[in-house]
């Protein structure tokens, strides 16, 4: 098989690419990366020097692609399917990329800050100020998203695309650290629509055995 994705089923950024692959039924091998294993980590760093998952290897084209948005661009270019992740029309393209960056930078980043503080090893200093700041950033992002979803749209830019691949993992885990119910009903409804997609249901099913590793507090 030409494509191999190096990823972990619990990792939010890996979900972003997996959703894209499943949406377009693109054949690929899925290799689970355990960064806690020294040998596996060393092998993965040869593919992704910054150590960030996922990484996509395309043997047919002798290419290794990292960074989630770039991977989805690569799939649009070389493995197109019924879902076009980023529209061709320039004004639709930059708007789609805005929402992709919004979910990655303003939802994922503060959410991951909160989670990272929870899993700091025993004896390491916690960062209560940074966590409080992250909660504020996350709330601000959800406030803005709520205002944008108030027009009744199904997806962020008409059709399911790059924005939704980014939104699903970001909102799913954000809901775990700062519940959407009650305060952000339109954000929650958007998340529920995302969870109804067969591609997302497959990702969640694959992640389910690892949810016990998610730090709840």
Model pLDDT for residues 173-214, shown as the tens digit of each residue: 999 999 999 999 999 999 999 999 999 999 999 999 999 988
Please say whether the dihedral angle defined by the alpha carbons of residues 99, 168, 150 and 90, taken in this order, is positive or negative: positive
Q: What is the pLDDT of residue 122?
A: 81
Domain tally, the chain: 2
- CA–CA separation, 120 and 99 (whole Å): 30
| Per-residue model confidence as pLDDT tens for the chain (217 residues) | 699 999 999 999 999 999 999 999 999 999 999 888 898 899 999 999 998 999 999 999 999 999 999 999 999 999 999 999 999 999 999 999 999 999 999 999 999 999 999 998 887 888 999 999 999 999 999 999 999 999 999 999 999 999 999 999 999 999 999 999 999 999 999 999 999 999 999 999 999 999 998 887 7
The answer to whether residues 108 and 62 belong to one domain is no
Backbone angles phi, psi at 66, to 5 degrees: -125, 170
The answer to whether residues 99 and 163 belong to one domain is yes
The answer to whether residues 96 and 28 belong to one domain is no
- Residues paired with 88 in a beta bridge: none
Q: Is residue 217 domain-resident?
A: no
Q: What is the pLDDT of residue 216?
A: 77
Q: What is the pLDDT of residue 120?
A: 87
Q: What is the pLDDT of residue 10?
A: 95
Q: Domain range spanning residue 46?
A: 3-78
The answer to whether residues 54 and 113 belong to one domain is no
The answer to whether residues 164 and 129 belong to one domain is yes
Q: What is the pLDDT of residue 1?
A: 64
Q: What is the pLDDT of residue 215?
A: 87
The answer to whether residues 17 and 57 belong to one domain is yes
The answer to whether residues 101 and 67 belong to one domain is no
Q: Is residue 211 domain-resident?
A: no
- Cα–Cα distances in Å, from 113 out to 14, 117, 128, 198? 17, 6, 11, 29
SS3 assignment for the chain: CCEEEEECCCCHHHHHHHHHHHHCCCCCEEEECCCCCHHHHHHHHHHCCCCCCCEEEECCCCEEEECHHHHHHHHHHHCCCCCCCCCCCHHHHHHHHHHHHHHHHHHHHHHHHHHHHHCCCCCCCCCHHHHHHHHHHHHHHHHHHHHHHCCCCCCCCCCCCHHHHHHHHHHHHHHHHCCCCCCCHHHHHHHHHHHCCHHHHHHHHHHHHHHHHCCCC
CATH of residue 71: 3.40.30.10
The answer to whether residues 180 and 156 belong to one domain is yes
Q: State which of 78, 101, 122 marks the end of a domain.
A: 78
The answer to whether residues 112 and 36 belong to one domain is no
């Amino acid at each position: 098989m030409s494509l191999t994705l190096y990823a972990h089923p619990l990792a939010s950024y890996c979900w972003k690419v997996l959703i894209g692959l499943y949406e377009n039924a693109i054949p690929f091998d899925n290799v689970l990366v355990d960064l806690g294993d020294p040998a596996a980590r060393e092998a993965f760093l040869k593919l992704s020097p910054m150590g960030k998952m996922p990484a996509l290897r395309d043997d047919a084209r002798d290419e290794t692609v990292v960074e989630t948005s770039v991977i989805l661009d690569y799939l649009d270019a070389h493995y197109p399917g019924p879902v076009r992740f980023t529209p061709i029309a320039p004004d639709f393209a930059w708007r789609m990329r805005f929402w992709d960056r919004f979910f990655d930078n303003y939802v994922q980043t503060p959410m991951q800050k909160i989670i990272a503080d929870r899993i700091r090893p025993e004896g390491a200093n916690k960062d209560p100020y940074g966590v409080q700041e992250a909660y504020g950033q996350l709330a601000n992002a959800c406030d803005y998203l709520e205002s944008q979803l108030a027009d009744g749209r199904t997806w962020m830019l008409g059709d399911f695309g790059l924005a939704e691949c980014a939104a699903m993992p970001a909102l799913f885990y954000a809901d775990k650290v700062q519940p959407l119910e009650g305060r952000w009903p339109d954000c929650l409804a958007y998340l529920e629509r995302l969870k109804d997609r067969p591609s997302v249901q497959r990702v969640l099913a694959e992640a389910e055995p690892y949810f016990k590793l998610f730090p709840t507090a």
